Structure formats: structure tokens, C-alpha cells
Structure 1
Amino acid sequence: MLISLDRADAEGFARALDYFGDLTCRTVVLWNDAEEIQELVGEIEAGIGRLAPRGKGRAVWMALGYLIAEGRARAVAFHDADVLNYSRSLLANLVTPVLHPLLPFDFAKAYYARFSNQLHGRVTRLLFRPLLQALGDVVGRHPYLSYLAAFRYPLSGELCFTTDLARGVRIPGDWGLEIGLLFEILRHRSPRRICQVDVADRFDHKHQELSPNDASAGLHRMAVDIVKHLLRTFSAAGVVLNEGAFKSMRVAYQRYAEDAVADSFAVATFNGLAFDRHAEEEAVETFSRALAEGCEQFVADPLGTPPLPNWERVLSALPNLGSRLVQSVQKLGGILEPKGSSRA
């Protein structure tokens, strides 16, 4: 297991080592704020160019770099660290399609039901799916649109892919990680080698605030980033989007989002779940503003923040950087062997 530890001081790193030290599996704590690690990042920026700002995407990218450099893993699995009802079967279900010797898959994406006493997954239910429907009205049938629509939970953070594939993909640096990565995977693999897997009967994690009046926080910010990444990946797939298309898309989204609220009410009622119509409508209003904001930002800067370079390029430009990254983690004491193991 690898923990990509971000924005932690020496005391926080020590606490992480103590916390994860009792695990029964080999564990690596990659302390991204360590001076030795930051020096390596500086070399990458000097040799290749400035990296995306720190955040979830860059933490994932650093973790990939370590695992590729160490060379022990055949596949890599990611999942969010705030899962409230985690079980070992979740991980087993996630990695089996990629690791099973008789299955042809290089990438697996998790899906699951999101509910407690009420429905969750507002961004997927009330933004992403209605937006795909609206884009379908505007651009018509398109292979990339069909690809995205096929995923039952396209925004899930739980996925698994081979380290060979990981070497070549570029990781988005912001909250558009999930969408940007789906596009990258499709660039490198046939859909026949991509699958999705049901990993849990029910899935719950820490819920973010909607932040309706602050586009820089919570689900509002996430929605803006998702819109921008979706538009950028559609443009990269050859879809031409002009001002008229944006206007039509926003109007169509509003209609499909209202339908999604009605569908959610029906699902909640049938299953005996609570349903707050005002909160659902407020989410749609917030996501509608996020759609407008995302369109404006896309028009102003179609390329946006470049994705992080793939590790194939990094290790080509700086051949010994991978071994030095592994050595730095070892020197910091970030490699924790299982209790009772004789290995150093």
C-alpha cells in the first residue's frame, strides 16, 4: 500500500508512520513535502517545465512515479481515503478484472450505489448525466460521448490499471482528475480492454458542502472543473463547440437536470428514502451556474492547466530520477515492512 502524503510537516509524517506502522502489508508513505522529494520535483520542473499546482492530481502522479520507479507492482489501484464503509472485498473486486490472468482488461473503473437514508452522488446525478444528455442533443452521436455515458459512475475515484499503462498516461492536475483520466485511458487502450466493476452494495464517504455562493470551494468548484475538463476532452476528441452550442447546451442541461430531480424523487420514494426537493433544486441551480462559469473559463483558456507529464517522458529526460526517488523514500524511513517481517 502507498500513501501519498501531502501538505504535512515532520510531525505529521511521524504520525503517519506511527498510524500505518501496524498494518500487515508492506506500506510506503511518500512524504511529498520532504526536502529531498521537493528537490526532485524541482529537477523535473527544471528539465521538463512547470508542473500543475499541488493537489489531488499531483499527489496521485507522485504515487505513480514511485511505484513505476520501484518496479514491484504489476498494477496500481486507487481509491479515496475517506471511505466510511470500507471493506477488503472492495479492493478485491476492483483489482480482479486487471490481475486475473484469463481476463484481457488493462483498466477497471468502480461503480456502486450512493445512499444512506437518502440519495447521494449529486454531482453525478444532477450535473454529469444531464450534461451528457445535453451534449448529445448538441453534437449528436459521438464515440466519446457513448464511451462516457457507458460508465455507471464515471466520477468514482476508485480505479485500477496496469503499471505499463500508467507509464504513458498524463494525469490532470485539478479536480477534473476522473474525467481527464478516462480520456487518457481511451487514448491508450481499446474500449475492449476497459471495464467497470461493481465493488460494493453501498458506498459512502465524507460528503462535501455544496458551496452555492462560492465557486472556489466544495461541490461548486468541483462542478466547474468537471465542466472545463469535459469540454476540453470533447474538443480534443474532435468536437467543435461554438457560442451557439454553449447556449443550447445550457438550456438543454436545465431541462435534463429537472428531469433528474424527478427521477431521483421516484427512486427515493420507491426505496423509502428521505428526499429534500429544495436541496436538490438548489444543487441544480448551483450546477447550472457552474456550467456557465465552466463554459466561460473554457472559452477564455481552451487548453487550461496542462496535464502532468507522463512518467515515460520524465524518466526519459531524467533517467536516474526514479531510483533517486525510491532511495529518498527509503532514507526518510517511509517504507514500512509488515510486523514480524525480517526484511529491512
Structure 2
Amino acid sequence: MREITRNFGLVTTFRILVDQDRRHLAAMLNQHARMNPPVLIVPLLASEYTLPENQPVFNNILSHLSRAEYLDHIIFGLDQACASEMQLLRDLIARHRINKAIIQWNDGPVFGNIYRMLSDAGMVPAESGKGKNIFLGIGIALALQAKAVGILDADIRSFDCIQLDRLLYPVVVHNYDFSKAFYTRISNRRLYGRVKRLLMDPLLLALKTKFIESKDKKMLGLIDFLLQFDYQLSGEVAFRSDLLKKMRFATNWGAEIFTLIEVYRKASSAAQVDFSIEPFDHKHQTVSEDDLSKGLTRMAVDIVTTLMNALVQGEGLDLSEAFFRDLLTIYMGVTDKLTKMYSDESMFNDLDYDWDDEEYLARNVFGACILHAGDILTAQTTDTDRLLRLANSYPQFKPCLEAGLAKAILSVELELKRSVFETPHTASWERVCHKMPEINDVLIEAIRV
């Protein structure tokens, strides 16, 4: 267990140092769960158990969840499902003998009406998605008087119940406000986690370099906090309910970074947990250079805009074209060093590594996303001439900006402007309960239907 001191305070890292017997962690969780009953939220799409290629993954998750006796409830937040698909999920849960399961059928009449109530009250954005799914699941967990809440994705190909034990251990046993998983992403003998390795880390390191040069300690506090996490973009997290009531949640691809920023500002203790001793694998996003609204490209833009928005609103960062020009130059230098490092590390582990592909992704795709986010933040208008000017000013981005991406940028410009100046997010449940004092009764009644 390693403790690191930063402006935030103490962030504890729980590493797997020896082979762990699950009974050791499960026994402690069972003991402490009597006073701190944990609830698990599993957001999922119907396709994650109806498509033949996904069924073995989901059945393995259900099989392992059935062993987590310390869980008070498991909430399955189900999106994009018809009535028959909802019933299929119910049957699968029963087949695996999972007790105290709740199906939060978001497309059904009961929870659909609750979403409308929340939207009419201005508590959630109108657009549906994973962020809103998790937000409502949190509301249900709090209404059930959960003391700790975990969130687990439904597409983890290498899931084992001891991973959940590790995630919840700091929060349930040691009363940390927040716990986040980290792991190594390897699939088909290649390193993955590309957005984290080739965008998130070099962007944070570039920002740190700039803020050290300007001696801006206020900015460095948040950047140092984010850099402490081995995997900032993991979706496996756990919270104490006292913190969770105050948290807001982003509903775009910047959700994980937004959550860490909320933790930085509102938590008093945080931990990260070594999730898996083996390489961790779940669904991979595709690179979509010609469509800014899909895959890793959209994720990258949302992450950059969410982070920059937080620095502007919370830390008072003054953005300019010169700032982004300098940032991009530093980012390029950092990615050059990191791609060599990953090449060396892959060779050390006898993994395949396509240096050219990773360099292209970092410099041309993610670099173009940083450039575009900066241009939106610092420009009053957007037109084809401006995009062509960008392509001419930065020749390395020309293929990405001209080969269909420019047209895609124009088509989503208004949506991106909204995400830059105000990251789409929910209200906190503390705020919801203040404005809608009847909401807990409504949620309890909903899960009884």
C-alpha cells in the first residue's frame, strides 16, 4: 500500500503484492457490510446479453456476481431494451440465482416517467445515455439507504469476483470516500488503453509543464491529482454515500475525468485499487477519423473539453490561441517520448507494437482533437475557411482535417460548443432531494412494481 502526498491530501494506492485468497477479502467485506451495506450498479445495453458474441461475457459476470454475498442489492440499469429483452434479463438473473437484484428498465413506463420528472425539474440533461443511467441507479441506491455504492461495466471480458472485492474494499472496510480501479489493458498481444496512454497522460504532463513554467500552483493542484491515478479513464469506481450525494455526473465521454474532478473538489479521502493481476480486457472503441461524433475521436474531444472547462471554471485558467499553440507543441514532444517508452516496454514483454500507428494516432488524430477543442474555445465563429486555415497552419493534421473530418466538425459544432462551455452533467442527488422531496418515495415505489 503506497501513500502519496499532494495538494489534495492523501491518495492511497492498494497494489496486489502477493497472490490473494478471495476468502480473505470477502470475509472482511461480509463483516463490515453489516454496518456499511454496499449496493452495486451495473449499467448495460440489451445488446450486451442478447448478441451471441456478448453472451459468454455477460454470463460470466453474472456467475461471479452471484458469489458476492456482501452486496445488499445489485441494480441493473438497462438501456435500449424492449419488454421481451427486459424479461430475458430477468430470466438470466434468476438462472444465476442472484438475490436482491433490481432491474432499472429505463425504456419502460415506470422509469421513463421518473426520467421525465427529473428532466422537467432540470435535474438531468434531455439526452439519454450511460451517464443518466448511472445517475438514476445512484438515486435508487441512496433511496435504499446504501452506505457504499460501486459501479461496474457489463462488458468486462476478464471479470472475476475478487476484482469487485478489491474495488469495494477501501470504501466498505476503511471508509474511504472514493475508490477507483486501475489495470493493464492488453488484448491480442497488444497494449490498449490508447486514449489514456496517448491523450490523457501526455496532455496532463504538457499542462503540468506549462503550469510549472508559469508557477501556477492552483492549476497544478488538480493536474497533480489527476496524474496520481494509474488509469484515469477506468469505469469501475466506488463511493461512500455521503460523498455520492454531493457528486454531479457528466453525461458525455468526459464522464470519468469529470468524476475525478468532482472527487478532487468534494472528497476528503481517495484510493485507487489494483483491479486485476492479469491483463484486463473489455470492449474496445474504434478510431473514427472521418466522424467526430463516434469512437475514440469523440471521446478525445469530450475529454479535452471537459478538462479545459474545469480549469477555466474552477481554477480560473485564461485560455488563448497562444496557450493552445504552446500546449500542442509540448504535447507533441511528450508523445514522442511516450511512444518510444511503450515500444521499449512492449519489446520487454514480447508484445507486438506498431510504433507508426501509435505515433499517427497521437500526433494526427488526438493532436487534431486538442487543436479543434482549443479553436472552439478561443474563436467566436466557425466556418470552412477557418478549418482550412488550421489544416494549412498544421500540416501534420491535414489528412485528418481534410479527409472528411472538416465536414464532420461543422455538423456537430453547436453540440461541441455546448460541451466546451458547459459540460453536460446531472445535478447532485442532494440538490434533487431538496427540489423534489418526494423522489425517494417515488424510487422505492418504482422498484416494487
Pairing 1:94–2:167 present:
yes
Equivalent residues in 2 for 1:161-180, closer than 5 Å: 161-180=239-258
- Specify whether residues 254 and 181 from structure 1 end up closer, same or farther in structure 2 by C-alpha distance, changes over 3 A only: same
Partner of residue 393, structure 2: none
Distance 1:165 1:22 in 2: 35
- Residues 55-97 of structure 1, C-alpha deviations (whole Å, 9 max, x = no match): 11111111101111122x2111112211110001100000001
Offset of residue 113 of structure 1: 1.2
Distance 1:64 1:208 in 2: 26
Distance 2:155 2:147 in 1: 25
Offset of residue 278 of structure 1: 2.8
Equivalent residues in 2 for 1:130-145, closer than 5 Å: 130-140=202-212, 141=217, 142-145=220-223
Structure with more relative contact order (C-alpha pairs < 8 Å, separation 6 or more): 1
Offset of residue 99 of structure 1: 0.7
Task: Give, as a single letter, the amino acid of the residue that structure 2 aligns with 1:109.
Answer: K
Distance 2:435 2:175 in 1: 32
- Specify whether residues 104 and 14 from structure 1 end up closer, same or farther in structure 2 by C-alpha distance, changes over 3 A only: closer
Task: Give, as a single letter, the amino acid of the residue that structure 2 aligns with 1:113.
Answer: T
The SS at the match of 1:21 is helix
Q: 1:51 aligns with which of 125, 129, 141?
A: 125
Task: Give, as a single letter, the amino acid of the residue that structure 1 aligns with 2:305.
Answer: K
The SS at the match of 1:151 is coil
> Contact 1:52/1:308 (CA < 8 Å) preserved in 2?
no
Q: Aligned residues, how many?
A: 326
Partner of residue 79, structure 2: 6
Distance 1:146 1:94 in 2: 23
Distance 1:40 1:180 in 2: 24
> Contact 2:123/2:427 (CA < 8 Å) preserved in 1?
no
Offset of residue 303 of structure 1: 2.5
Equivalent residues in 2 for 1:241-320, closer than 5 Å: 241-284=319-362, 285-299=364-378, 300-301=417-418, 302-320=420-438
Pairing 1:68–2:121 present:
no
> Contact 1:77/1:159 (CA < 8 Å) preserved in 2?
yes
Distance 1:8 1:60 in 2: 16
RMSD, matched Cα: 1.6
Offset of residue 327 of structure 1: 1.3
Q: Which runs of 5+ in 2 are unaligned?
A: 1-73, 379-416
- Residues 232-276 of structure 1, C-alpha deviations (whole Å, 9 max, x = no match): 112233133222111111111111112211111000001100111
Task: Give, as a single letter, the amino acid of the residue that structure 2 aligns with 1:29.
Answer: I
Distance 2:244 2:360 in 1: 39
Distance 2:184 2:325 in 1: 33
Q: Which runs of 5+ in 1 are unaligned?
A: 332-344
Distance 2:123 2:377 in 1: 22
> Contact 2:180/2:272 (CA < 8 Å) preserved in 1?
yes
Distance 1:40 1:197 in 2: 34
Partner of residue 222, structure 1: 299
Pairing 1:146–2:224 present:
yes
Distance 1:82 1:196 in 2: 21
Q: 2:283 aligns with which of 203, 206, 215?
A: 206
Pairing 1:120–2:199 present:
no
Percent of aligned pairs with the same residue? 32
Distance 1:146 1:12 in 2: 44
Partner of residue 57, structure 2: none
Task: Give, as a single letter, the amino acid of the residue that structure 1 aligns with 2:261.
Answer: F
Pairing 1:28–2:102 present:
yes
Max radius of gyration: which structure?
2
Distance 1:111 1:324 in 2: 36
Pairing 1:197–2:273 present:
yes
Partner of residue 107, structure 1: 178
Pairing 1:81–2:81 present:
no
Offset of residue 49 of structure 1: 5.6
The SS at the match of 1:237 is helix
Offset of residue 145 of structure 1: 0.8
- Residues 143-169 of structure 1, C-alpha deviations (whole Å, 9 max, x = no match): 111101111111111111112211110
- Residues 301-342 of structure 1, C-alpha deviations (whole Å, 9 max, x = no match): 5422442011111111111122212212321xxxxxxxxxxx
Q: 2:312 aligns with which of 235, 243, 252?
A: 235
Q: Which moved more, 1:76-85 or 1:20-29?
A: 20-29
Q: TM-score, normalised by structure 2?
A: 0.70
Task: Give, as a single letter, the amino acid of the residue that structure 2 aligns with 1:131.
Answer: L
Partner of residue 42, structure 1: 116
Offset of residue 294 of structure 1: 2.3
> Contact 1:179/1:226 (CA < 8 Å) preserved in 2?
yes
Distance 1:230 1:135 in 2: 11
Pairing 1:129–2:201 present:
yes
Q: Which moved more, 1:33-42 or 1:290-299?
A: 290-299
Q: TM-score, normalised by structure 1?
A: 0.90
Offset of residue 218 of structure 1: 0.7
> Contact 1:228/1:297 (CA < 8 Å) preserved in 2?
no
Offset of residue 41 of structure 1: 1.8
Offset of residue 52 of structure 1: 4.7
Offset of residue 104 of structure 1: 4.4
Distance 2:123 2:184 in 1: 41
